[in-house]
Amino acid sequence: MKKFQKLIIVGAMFALPSVSYSVGISNAELSATTCFMCHGPEGKYVGGTIPPLAGYPESVMVTQLKAIKSGARKSTVMQRHIKGYSDAEIEELAKYFSSLKP
């Protein structure tokens, strides 16, 4: 049952952004949809141990993500993911997530 619920959540996340593409969204918003897969849709908490990102303080997120990227902060999957982003993209993502309502 749990697995099934997760499938629905992931499915919904792929379905929703496709609607907004036509309206025109920023690169940060587009990249953020890949974060939603693990951190919850719109960065909202869905249970489990992965921290939610909506309303996350911008400067703290930049610091955390750069530390994870460099390996200064140990992580499981997060480093593999964030390595694909430039520092400028990290800053854009942090700004976007801090603007979301938790």
**Residues binding ligand HEC (CB under 6 A):** 31, 34-35, 37-39, 50-51, 53, 61, 64-65, 75-78, 81, 93
User: If we measure between CA atoms, which residue out of 38, 14, 25, 41 comes closest to residue 101?
Assistant: 41
Residue whose tokens read 């990290």: 90
Report d(CA 87, CA 6) in Å as an integer: 31
Q: C-beta of 30: minimal distance to ligand HEC in Å?
A: 10
Q: C-beta of 67: minimal distance to ligand HEC in Å?
A: 9
Q: Tell me whether residue 19 or residue 77 sits nearer to ligand HEC (CB atom).
A: 77
